[in-house]
Copies of this chain bind each other. A is one copy, B any other.
Amino acid sequence: MIRIVIYEDNDPLRRSMQLLLMTHSSYEVTGSFGHAGRVEEEMDLLQPELVIMDIDMPGRSGMEALQLIKQKHPEILVVMHTVFGEDEKLFASLCMGASGYILKKTSPDKFMQYIQEALEGGAPFSPLIASRVLQTFRQQPVQQPDFPVSPRELQVLALLVKGYSYKLIAAELKISLDTVRKHIGQIYSKLHVSCGTEAVALAIRRGMV
C-alpha cells in the first residue's frame, strides 16, 4: 500500500480527494489535514510516500510546509495543488523540490493519472503550468513599462532590489546622492509607483532584474 497524506483547508474538497484516492486499490490515505501547523510531526509519524499539498492555507502556507518536509524527508514526494499558478510561487515550489504542480480544476481521472506519474518518478504538471515553465526557457519578451527605464536607471533599480540604500548606490555607481535620488524618482514615475518597495516588487514580478 502506498501511503498518501493530504493537506487542504477546503473540507469538502479534501474529502472528495480522499474518496477519489481510495478508489485506487494500492493507495491508502493515512492522513488528511485542514492546515499544515504540525506538518513535521505528521510526517515523522505517518511516513507517507506522497503528500498532496494545497498552497493557500490559513496559518502555515503550503510553501512553508513543502520546505519543512523536504528539509527533513527529502524522499517524500510532494505534489502542489492550487487554484491557479502565480509565477513566483510556482517557481519557488519547483526550486524547493515539489514533484509536481496540479491545478484544482483538473479532472478526477487526470488527477489520478498525475498522482500515478509522480509515484513513478515523473513530474506531473497541469499543461498550463508546464507551458508557464516552458516560457522561462524561451527568451520571453518581458512586458515593458509604459515608458522604458534607461540602462542607467535599470542599474539603479537592480541595486535597489538588492537592498542598497541611496548612499550605497551612489558609492557603487560613483555618482552623487542627488543623482541617485533623481534616477529613482524617474523610475517611480515610469513604473507608476511611489515608493521603493512597490518598485522592487514590480521589477521582480516583471522579470526586469
Contacts and interface: CB of A to CB of B under 8 A. Distances in A.
Interface of A: 58-61, 63-64, 67-68, 71, 88-89, 91-100, 117-118, 120-128, 130-131, 133-134, 137-142, 144, 148, 151, 160-163, 165, 193-201, 204-208
Contacts of A163: 193-195, 197-198, 201
Given A91-B137, A121-B128, A200-B200, 10 more contacts: A67-B142, A88-B207, A95-B139, A97-B138, A99-B134, A118-B127, A122-B126, A122-B130, A130-B130, A196-B197
A161 B203 CA distance: 12
Contacts of A131: 99, 121-123
Contact of A92 (B91, B96, B130, B205): B205
A91 B88 CA distance: 21
Counting chain B CB atoms within 10 Å of each CB, the highest count among A124, A141, A194, A207 belongs to A207
Given A92-B142, A123-B131, A123-B134, A201 B198 contact: no
Given A64-B144, A97-B138, A92 B207 contact: yes
A22 to B, nearest CB: 23
A21 to B, nearest CB: 18
A2 to B, nearest CB: 17
A185 to B, nearest CB: 15
Which 7 pairs across A and B sit closest by C-beta, in order of nearness?
A122-B127, A163-B198, A92-B207, A123-B130, A123-B131, A94-B137, A117-B127
A98 B142 CA distance: 12
Contact of A205 (B60, B99, B199, B204): B204
B117 A123 contact: no
A138 B141 CA distance: 23
